Amino acid sequence: QSALTQPASVSGSPGQSITISCTGTSSDVGSYNLVSWYQQYPGKAPKLMIYEVTKRPSGVSNRFSGSKSGNTASLTISGLQAEDEADYYCCSHVVSSKVFGGGTKLTVL
């Protein structure tokens, strides 16, 4: 199973909105509404931010939102804040396993 494709890096200024894309295939992202997104700070464990494409766990800011169209899922962060600077990974369920994207480093300028 090949990794999902994410941009290596994105950047934005405080207050702006950014979108991170996650492209898979009709066998993974396109087949299941089971895309999740994780935030990871350096040296720390990942944290679930979005699950089942659009759902936010309790405690996650509503500035984070998810969507999907065809084989591509997206994470949008609105009202960018300095604390959002981190690595972000998408993940899709596929058959009986999971596949992650390569990760995107978000820089807040």
Report the interface residues with other proteins, using CB under 8 A: 1, 3, 34, 36, 38, 40, 44-48, 51-52, 57, 89, 91, 93, 96-103
β-sheet with 72-77: strand ranges across? 18-23, 72-77, 64-69
Q: Smallest distance from the beta carbon of 46 to other proteins, in angstroms?
A: 5
For other proteins, give the closer residue by CB, 28 or 84.
Answer: 28
Closest CB to other proteins among 3 and 109?
3
| Shortest distance, position 48 Cβ to other proteins, whole Å | 6
Q: How many CB atoms within 10 Å of residue 45?
A: 7
Q: Which is nearer to other proteins, 48 or 109 (CB)?
A: 48
b/e per residue, 4-20, with b = 16+ CB within 10 A?
A: bbbbeebebeeeeebeb
Nearest to 20 by CA among 29, 12, 30: 12
Q: How far is the CB of 104 from other proteins (least distance, A)?
A: 10
